[in-house]
Chain A
């Protein structure tokens, strides 16, 4: 990236030039002051960056004056002083140390830097014999003290990284000290040198070809910075970014993209090298024992908390391994070993080629995206290139810089941080996050949200297009390729299209103006959509920078959620469908709440109408299907007392756990009930014939040919939860929420048969259930019933009676 035509200054060439120029000055001073008076027993060495011939403009000059013994050094104090004086007078900033060969091969706890700096030593002038003495001792010393040197470097590095919060994502980075900076680059090369040194031979500078690009970029940036500031200045300020971009004839974002890419490569390499060395230091026995780690499987082995591939060329032979790797990391929360990373890097082309063709990837992917360590899995896959091999669309946001006041991260990092925020919300105990934690456990497919977040900003890499439109287009391509089911695609489209809407509403509209919640409720349509969008918004805002999700802002978001939630669950009674596309449709839909259309697709409506047709001869029709881990039952029949309670009870008698339920009634008396339920004992999965038996039993129960009480009796009740987990039941009546019905909200400890008990209690008091919304939040059931008696709201007496009866049932 450093080859713009406007380049007036060659920062890489300047290093060599300055090194040679300084060499000449040092030699001259040496000849004048020390060379003649100390012909033997003394030598001068370049160390540090100067030793490596990487002398940046205005950098310090590190020199080592090597004397055969202390006495010789003391005897020539004055000459040393004049020697240094000449260099200072010439404008060089010199830092020097005076040592004997013996001191160079001892470990001084307080001054390990000296030992490390010797790794870069370069002979300049003086007695070659003294230098030779030092050089014969050095390999044995470095080899013998390998662990101590590594420990020291490791501690220094970790402390330095901590000063920068462990991240290379800084808008105005210090390109020397920050993670991924020049010090890390140096660290990698020192560790390689230490590892390559045998007792007999000292390893010289180690060339690391994989970091060539990063080195060139960082060197050039530092060269520019020093040249411009006329001092050792390493902070890439906004101003500096501007004029460096101008010098190179590129955009400022290109300068920063180049920097971030380099920093990321260097940071990863530094961490990998450190971890490799730290791991090596532990005993072989521990490694042997650990290799048998319980979690190892047919694809991967685990040693010292790192993942290894069982067969080195496995990824190229079987690219689907990439998905299993995501799952493995997502489940166990471990990173890859350096060895596995390196092997995988060479096989990415095969992965990319394999996944470029349409394949049924979604089931495995959504599983990987729903695991406790999904954020780490995505990070590992992204850093190794596996994720972009799966989804090349993500390359557009690779290290993409958004230059504004608020964004701390590049777009790819923002995306990963957002996903991490979402997944970590689940366990949040402290406000403001805790309010949102409940929502995470309530949504049906958390993996879908992760997928939507992964793509929500990919469009930022296509600035000529609107960012949301571009994100949608790219997500569409990816969803097609991985053969995501239609319903899930709709959800992803919805989330990407609307991912900024809550922020915009929060910041731009009066939350207490009733039209705000009403308009927003119409825009999101369903409670499930609202919950998903709220979580996406929370994650997206939090990932802009670590300070932006203040308690204040979280409160605003929660308030909008709350008002919209109440709007969605209460306005539904007042808006009824009056007319549809065709006369047949109108006949079927007339009188259903409008929410029915928002929660069901055109295909659903057609299927429901067919179901009604089918059910006519028998008076009932039941459809049952599996979607992910949840079963959905749809029932169409004529209205009759106890209908809802009957179905709920039958499902419970089969051991099914009802998660959500809704009841709709149209004007001509057709009732459509939908139940989502889980099958905790896997009865239906393990016994395929049970699906048919369940359907048949429900039909019989609805037609009054099977007794639900009898069915429920044959099912043993589960043990009550511990006292501590008990939830005191509440029954809340609301006459204002709807124009024609009384709303009853029941919150109680969830248990098998609960819904049956509540519904049959309501029905047994002569009330009819018009609409039901069932939700469960861990052990807590939150059920909302819209109830009428003889077509009107319940009288206060009836409410009092029903409340008593319900509480009696709920308290058991």
Chain B
């Protein structure tokens, strides 16, 4: 089992959800986060005052998937989230040691 953690642009949340739904994935955790990578912040002047926008709003999508479906899901996710410009975000993949469904104690992939 693998855990996918993707940091994407907020306006790409709907396309990503849609793309994952199309391949049968509708369970995920979504968090509103702030951050910047190479995109850095930028500066806006509003009424004589400078506004530094250094931490940009981003969306974090987390989901745990079976090893067999990992590549297919990653392709769907990155294709949907891509604009080709700086700031598109990143995807991290981790190994998952165990999954347990609390309700009935299902273990492993059965719990996903």
Q: Could you mark each residue 492-529 of chain A with 1 if its beta carbon is under 8 Å from any beta carbon of chain B, else 0? A: 00000000000000111111100000000000000000
Q: Does B11 contact A (CB under 8 A)?
A: yes
Contact, CB under 8 Å: A507 / B14? yes
Contact, CB under 8 Å: B83 / A510? yes
Contacts of A332 in B (CB 8 A): none
- Do A512 and B42 form a contact, CB below 8 Å, given A553-B32, A559-B53? yes
**Which of B11, B33, B45 is A566 in contact with, Cβ under 8 Å?**
B45
Contact, CB under 8 Å: B45 / A732? yes
Q: Does B9 contact A (CB under 8 A)?
A: yes
Q: How far is the CB of B82 from chain A (nearest CB, A)?
A: 12
Contacts of A555 in B (CB 8 A): 34, 57
User: Bound complex: CA of A508 vs CA of B53, how far in Å?
Assistant: 20
Most buried by A among B33, B34, B45: B45
Q: Does A85 contact B (CB under 8 A)?
A: no
User: Bound complex: CA of A509 vs CA of B45, how far in Å?
Assistant: 22
Q: Could you mark each residue 204-245 of chain A with 1 if its beta carbon is under 8 Å from any beta carbon of chain B, else 0? A: 000000000000000000000000000000000000000000
Contact, CB under 8 Å: A552 / B44? no
Q: How far is the CB of A354 from chain B (nearest CB, A)?
A: 47
Q: Which residue of A lies closest to B13 (CB)?
A: A507
**Which of A506, A510, A782 is B47 in contact with, Cβ under 8 Å?**
A782
Contact, CB under 8 Å: B32 / A552? yes
Contacts of B48 in A (CB 8 A): 730, 732, 745-747, 782
User: Bound complex: CA of A745 vs CA of B50, how far in Å?
Assistant: 13
Q: How far is the CB of A77 from chain B (nearest CB, A)?
A: 46
Q: Could you mark each residue 561-581 of chain A with 1 if its beta carbon is under 8 Å from any beta carbon of chain B, else 0? A: 011011000000000000000
Contact, CB under 8 Å: B46 / A566? yes
Say which size band chain B's interface belongs to.
20 to 34
Q: Which residue of A lies closest to B46 (CB)?
A: A562
Contacts of B34 in A (CB 8 A): 552, 555
Contacts of A747 in B (CB 8 A): 47-49
Q: How far is the CB of A324 from chain B (nearest CB, A)?
A: 40
User: Bound complex: CA of A44 vs CA of B29, how far in Å?
Assistant: 58
User: Bound complex: CA of A511 vs CA of B83, how far in Å?
Assistant: 13
Q: Does A347 contact B (CB under 8 A)?
A: no
User: Bound complex: CA of A106 vs CA of B22, how far in Å?
Assistant: 70
User: Bound complex: CA of A249 vs CA of B51, how far in Å?
Assistant: 57
Q: Could you mark each residue 8-25 of chain B with 1 if its beta carbon is under 8 Å from any beta carbon of chain A, else 0? A: 011101100000000000
User: Bound complex: CA of A562 vs CA of B43, how far in Å?
Assistant: 11
User: Bound complex: CA of A555 vs CA of B10, how far in Å?
Assistant: 12
User: Bound complex: CA of A552 vs CA of B46, how far in Å?
Assistant: 20
Task: Give chain A interface residues in 771-800, CB to chain B under 8 Å.
Answer: 777, 782
Q: How far is the CB of B16 from chain A (nearest CB, A)?
A: 12
Task: Give chain B interface residues in 34-90, CB to chain A under 8 Å.
Answer: 34, 42, 44-49, 51, 53, 57, 83, 85, 87
Contact, CB under 8 Å: B83 / A562? no
Contact, CB under 8 Å: A745 / B47? yes
Q: Does A550 contact B (CB under 8 A)?
A: yes
Contact, CB under 8 Å: B44 / A562? yes
Q: Does A556 contact B (CB under 8 A)?
A: yes
Contacts of A777 in B (CB 8 A): 47
Task: Give chain B interface residues in 83-112, CB to chain A under 8 Å.
Answer: 83, 85, 87
Contact, CB under 8 Å: B46 / A565? yes
**Which of B11, B47, B53 is A507 in contact with, Cβ under 8 Å?**
B11
Q: How far is the CB of B38 from chain A (nearest CB, A)?
A: 14
Contacts of A565 in B (CB 8 A): 46
User: Bound complex: CA of A742 vs CA of B73, how far in Å?
Assistant: 52
Q: How far is the CB of B47 from chain A (nearest CB, A)?
A: 5
User: Bound complex: CA of A216 vs CA of B46, how far in Å?
Assistant: 58
User: Bound complex: CA of A777 vs CA of B46, how far in Å?
Assistant: 13
Contact, CB under 8 Å: B32 / A562? no
Q: How far is the CB of A139 from chain B (nearest CB, A)?
A: 55
User: Bound complex: CA of A34 vs CA of B64, how far in Å?
Assistant: 66
User: Bound complex: CA of A553 vs CA of B30, how far in Å?
Assistant: 14
Q: Could you mark each residue 514-550 of chain A with 1 if its beta carbon is under 8 Å from any beta carbon of chain B, else 0? A: 0000000000000000000000000000000000001
Contacts of B11 in A (CB 8 A): 506-511
User: Bound complex: CA of A518 vs CA of B49, how far in Å?
Assistant: 22
User: Bound complex: CA of A552 vs CA of B14, how far in Å?
Assistant: 17
Contacts of A556 in B (CB 8 A): 10, 57
Contacts of A746 in B (CB 8 A): 48
User: Bound complex: CA of A190 vs CA of B27, how far in Å?
Assistant: 49
Q: How far is the CB of A731 from chain B (nearest CB, A)?
A: 8
Contact, CB under 8 Å: A566 / B14? no
Q: How far is the CB of B34 from chain A (nearest CB, A)?
A: 7
Q: How far is the CB of A262 from chain B (nearest CB, A)?
A: 34
User: Bound complex: CA of A566 vs CA of B49, how far in Å?
Assistant: 12
User: Bound complex: CA of A512 vs CA of B9, how far in Å?
Assistant: 11
Contacts of A559 in B (CB 8 A): 53, 57
Q: How far is the CB of B109 from chain A (nearest CB, A)?
A: 27
Q: How far is the CB of B91 from chain A (nearest CB, A)?
A: 19
Q: How far is the CB of A288 from chain B (nearest CB, A)?
A: 54
Given A562-B46, A566-B46, 7 additional A-B pairs, CB 8 A: A507-B11, A507-B14, A510-B11, A511-B11, A552-B57, A565-B46, A745-B47
> What are 8 contact pairs spanning A and B, CB under 8 A?
A550-B32, A553-B32, A562-B51, A730-B48, A734-B45, A745-B45, A745-B48, A782-B48
Question: Which B residues lie at the A interface, using CB under 8 A?
Answer: 9-11, 13-14, 32-34, 42, 44-49, 51, 53, 57, 83, 85, 87
Question: Which A residues lie at the B interface, using CB under 8 A?
Answer: 506-512, 550, 552-553, 555-556, 559, 562-563, 565-566, 730, 732, 734, 745-747, 777, 782
Name the 10 nearest CB pairs between A and B, nearest first: A747-B48, A552-B32, A730-B48, A782-B47, A556-B57, A508-B11, A562-B44, A562-B46, A509-B11, A552-B57
